[in-house]
Amino acid sequence: MLWVTAPFDPAAVIAEFIDAVSPYNPHPEAAPVAVVGLRTAYGEDVFTLSDHVIRAMCRALESYRDPEDRGDCAGCGGRHLDENLHCRDCGRLHGVLGQVIAEHMRRAAADGEAPRPGGPM
């Protein structure tokens, strides 16, 4: 798979996708529905796309999930949760750890005590 290596040639990725889905076109004799030009650091390419290829691209995009997508922050709505579910925008922690810390902070606030860094929960 060409698209997993870096650096990669975007035109080669598109060509590989077209080559992968074109054999399954039920109407290969149909006229192309789009012509796409691509200019990259590697040069210029033009791709003639069939309806079948465009539909395959749509299905691929619908099913794609970015590995960095960890959901939305429940606090600010941002989309920048790190691997520990810590929001880089507002600082809120999510998941089980975030719930435990938030509950401890609520209990401490209700008891009128300030939480101590490194202190017991």
Q: Could you tell me if 15 and 56 lie in one domain?
A: yes
Provide the number of structural domains found in the chain.
2
Range of the domain at 37: 2-63
Q: How many CB atoms lie within 10 A of CB 52?
A: 19
Q: Residue 81, SS3?
A: strand
Q: Please check whether residues 81 and 56 belong to one and the same domain.
A: no
Please indicate, yes or no, whether the overall pTM of this predicted structure exceeds 0.75: no
Mean pLDDT value of segment 26-32 = 95
Domain shared by 73 and 120, yes or no: yes
- pLDDT of residue 83 exceeding 80, the answer is yes
Nearest to 52 by CA among 28, 71, 70: 28
For residues 36 and 72, state if they share a domain. no
Q: How many CB atoms lie within 10 A of CB 85?
A: 16
Where residue 94 falls among pLDDT bands split at 50, 70, 90? confident
